[in-house]
Structure 1
Amino acid sequence: MTISSADRRLRVLHVEDSELDHQLILAQLRRAGLNLDVLRVDTLAEVTRCLNEPWDAIISDYNLPGFSGLVVLDMLKESRRVVPFVLVSGEIGEDTAVAAMRTGASDYLLKNNLARLAPALMHAIEASETQRARQESERELLKSKQRLHELAGHLQTSVEMERAAIAREIHDDVGGSLTALKFDLAWMARHAQDAAVLQRVQSALETVSNAIEASQRIMHNLRPAILEQGLVAAVQWMSMRFERRTGIITSMRTSHEQIQLPPGVPLVAYRTAQEALTNVSKHANATKVDIELSVDSGVLTLEVSDNGQGLSPADLAKARSFGIRGLHERAATVGGWVDLSSNSRGTSLILSVPLEAGGALLDDEEASHVTHDPSAWGSA
C-alpha cells in the first residue's frame, strides 16, 4: 500500500519542546506532499493524555525537559498499541539509536538531515498497518479455530448422546422383544412333541441367543456402561475382550486400581483406547499390544502400543485421516492432547490429560463409595 496526500489525512503526534524545530519538521513533511494534522506536545503529562487518542504516527525528539524520547517509546509499548514511532534528535549516539530500535522504534533521524523523514514516516506507517492487519488476521484465525474446536466438542457430545439414545432403544425395544421371543421359544421347546418341530425350535433359540449377544455387544459399543465401574475396570475389560476376539496378546498395566476423574475424561480415555485397538486389529498386523494407564504429577496418561508394521509418514498425512484427527479433537474437549509415533517396530499412541483438583487418586475405602457422573457418557 502506498500512502499519498490523496489517500487520507494523517494524524501525527509530535513530541518536541522547540517550536522552531516543530515548524521545520512540519514544513519538511508538507513539502513531501503529505496531508497532515499534527499536534505538538512537550510535557510528559500531555504525552500520557494524548497516547489514548488514535494516531497514525508519533515523531519524538530525544532530549526533552525532564524526560527522553525513549520514555515516550516505553509508554507506547506499555499501551500495547501498534503506532509507528520515529525518533528525531539533534544529536544521538549510536548506542542510543540501537537501543531505540531494539525497544521498538520504527526509525531514527538527525535533525540536520530531515530529507529522509517523509519516506521514513511513510514506510513506518505502511509497516504498522501491515502489522495491524496481520494481528487482526491472527485474531480472526484464533477465533475461527476456537469456534471449530467448540463445534467439534459439541459434535462429540451430540454423537455420544445419540449413541446413548440408540443403546437405550436397543435395550428397551430390541432386547426386550428378543428376550420375550426366547421365552416363547423355550416354552415351545418344552411342549413340542414332533422331533422336526423341536429341531427347528432349538435352531430358532440358538439364533435368538446370538441376536441377544449381538445386541448386547452393540449396546456396549454405543454406550460403555462398564465405565460405571471406573476407567481402570473398563480398560481392563476392553483389553480382555479384544484379546479374546482377535487372538492378539494384550497386557494392561495401571498405576492405581481406582482413579477419580473429572466428568468427561473417562469417556475420552475409553474411546481413545477403543479407537487405538480398532486400528491395531485393522491395520497393524501385530501379535502383541501393551496398554498402560497411569496418573503422575496431576496428568492422566493412557498409552497403547503394539509391535506391528507401523504407519508411514504418508499414512499419517492422509487428507482423510479422520480417525486420528477425531482423537485429537476428542482429547481437546477435556484439555488433553494425543501423541502418535510409529516406526517399523510398531506404533505408540499416548493420550495425556492434565487433571484439575478433582482428579485425585482414591484409597481402597474411598474407592468403594465412588459415584461416576453418568453425564460423562450420556444419561441412562
Structure 2
Amino acid sequence: MSGSSAPVRLLHLEDAEPDHALAMAQLRRAGLVVDATHIDSRAEFERALGERWDVILSDFNLPGFSGLEALRMLRAADALTPFILVSGEIGEDTAVEAMRNGASDYLLKNNLARLAPAVEHAIAASQTMAARLKADRELQASKLRLSELAQHLQTSVETERHAIAREIHDDVGGSLTALKFELDWVRKRVTDPEVLLRLQSAQDIVTHAIEASQRIMHNLRPAILEQGLVAALQWMASRFEKRSGIVCAFRTSHDKLVLPAGVPLVAYRTAQEALTNVSKHSGATRVGIDLSLTGGVLSLEVSDDGRGLSREDLAKAQSFGIRGLKERALTVGGWVDLSSGPRGTTLILSVPLDDDPQAPADGADDDGAADDDRQHDPSAWASL
C-alpha cells in the first residue's frame, strides 16, 4: 500500500494535538501517503460520518465522548470503514468489547511501531470484505434473475401446453370425430362383408387415435381440474394405482376447496411428478397423497415406502426434476420440501393462501382458461 499513488484518507479523532502529530509522523515514516483530518469532538465526528474514509483512528478517552461511542456511531452508519483505537491506557476488557463491536485493532500510544502495519492491514481487510459483499450481492442478484427465468419458463411451458392441447382438441379431435361419423355413415350403406370388415378396422383405428389424443391432451392440460383439485387428485390416485399396481391412498381435510388461480395446477403437477418418480425409481408398494388446508397454508404431501433417495441421488444432474418442482411452487408463492431415508421418501408442497373471498374456484387458471376449456371438454369425444 505504501507504493500506492492515492493517499490514505484518514480521520483522526484525538483531543491532544501532540499525539495527533506523533501518529501522523509515524505513518509517514513508514512510507504511507496520508491525507489526514484531525477532529476532537462528537459534533465534528457526526459531521465527518457523512464523508468517505479509508480508515478512522480514535483516542479512547475524549472530553464528554469515548472511542467506544464513536465506534458504535460509525457501525450504525457504516459497517465497513476500518476503526482503530489508539489510547494511552486501555484495559483488556475494554479492548475485547471494542473488537466485539467491530473495531479493526487497538494500539497503545507508547508503542506506535505497529500503527502503520495495523492501518494497512485494516484497510486491506476492509477492501476484501467490500469485494466479498459486492460478490455476494451480485451472486444473489444472479440467483434472483435465474429464479425469475425458471419461473417464467414454467409459466411459458404451461401456456404452450394449453395452446397445444386446444389445437389437438379443435383440429385433431374435430377431424377424427368427423372421420368417425363418415366411416359410420359408409358402414351403414355397405353390404360387402369384406368392405365391412375393413370399415370396422378403420373405425377401431380412429377410436384408438381419439383415445390417444384424449390421453395426450389430458397430460398437456388436465381437464379433470375443472372439477376441482380434490376430485383431480382422487382421480389421479385411482388411475396411478390401476396403472402401476402400487396401492395409492388419497386423504384430504376438505371435500372441496376454493383456491386462488394457478394453485390447483401447481399442486396437480407436483403430485403428478412425484407419482412418476415413485413408479420409476422407488420400488414402493404403497403411496399416500394427503391434501390439507390448515392455518391458511395449503399442504400437499406425497409419501411412499420405497428405497428412498441418498444424498448422492439428490446431487445428481437428474435432480433437476426436484429443482423444477421448487421453481414451479415459487410461481404461486409456495415451496417444496423433500425428505428421504431407507424407508421411503416424502415430498411436501406448501402454499400460503390469502384470505380472499373473491378468489376463483380451484379449477380456474390465471387467464380464465378453465371457463374456456369447458367449451373444449375432451370428454365429449367419449360418446362418439
Length-normalised TM-score, structure 1: 0.92
Corresponding residue number in structure 2 for 1:270: 268
- Three-state SS of the structure 2 residue aligned to 1:350 is strand
Alignment of 1:7-22 (within 5 A): 7-22=5-20
Q: Deviations over 1:79-125 (max 9, x none)?
A: 13310000111111221111111101001111111111111111111
Partner in structure 1 of residue 182 of structure 2: 184
For 2:366, give the aligned amino acid.
S
Match of residue 160 from structure 1: 158
Cα-to-partner distance string for 1:117-144 (whole Å, 9 max, x where unaligned): 1111111111111111110010000000
Q: List, as ranges, runs of 4+ consecutive aligned residues in structure 1 with deviation greater than 6 Å.
A: none
Structure 2 residue aligned with 1:350:
348
Same amino acid, percent of matched pairs: 66
Q: 1:279-313: CA deviations, max 9, x gaps? A: 12222232221100112222221111122233333
Distance 1:67 1:246 in 2: 77
Give secondary structure in 2 for the equivalent of 1:320.
helix
Which runs of 5 or more residues in structure 2 are unaligned?
373-384
- Structure 1 position 15, deviation (Å): 0.8
The aligned residue for residue 149 of structure 1 is 147
Distance 1:77 1:309, change over 3 A: same
Tell whether 2:315 aligns with 1:317: yes
Corresponding residue for 1:126? Answer: 124
Question: Which amino acid letter does the alignment assign opposite residue 375 of structure 1?
Answer: D
TM-score normalised by length of structure 2: 0.91
SS in 1 for 2:217: helix
1:22-61 alignment to 2 at 5 Å? 22-61=20-59
Q: Give the C-alpha shift of residue 372 in structure 1.
A: 4.6
| SS at 2:234 equivalent | helix
Pairing 1:1-380 to 2, within 5 Å after superposition:
3-358=1-356, 370=361, 372-375=363-366, 380=372
Contact preservation (8 Å) 1:41, 1:47: yes
Q: Secondary structure at the match of 1:244?
A: helix
Match of 2:376 in 1: none
Q: What do the CA deviations read for 1:42-89 (whole angstroms, capped 9, x no partner)?
A: 121211111111110000111112111111111111113310000111
What is the distance in 1 between the residues matched to 2:8 and 2:144? 36
Gaps in structure 1 of 5+ consecutive residues: 361-365
Q: CA deviation at 1:376?
A: 6.6
Partner of 2:377: none
Is contact 1:223–1:377 with CA below 8 Å preserved after alignment? no
Between the aligned partners of 2:230 and 2:362, the Cα distance in structure 1 is: 14
What amino acid is aligned across from residue 44 of structure 2 in structure 1?
E
For residues 14 and 123 of structure 1, the distance between their equivalents in structure 2, rounded to whole angstroms, comes to: 17
Count residues with an aligned counterpart.
371
What value does the CA root-mean-square deviation take over the aligned residues?
Answer: 2.0
Aligned residue in 2 for 1:363: none
Name the CA distance, whole Å, in 2 between partners of 1:278 and 1:191: 47
Cα 1:348–1:377 shift into 2, 3 Å:
farther
Which one is further off, 285-294 or 158-167? 285-294
Q: 1:357 and 1:95 mapped to 2: Cα distance?
A: 54
- Retained in 1: the 8 A contact 2:339–2:347? yes
Bigger Cα displacement from structure 2, 52-61 vs 348-357:
348-357
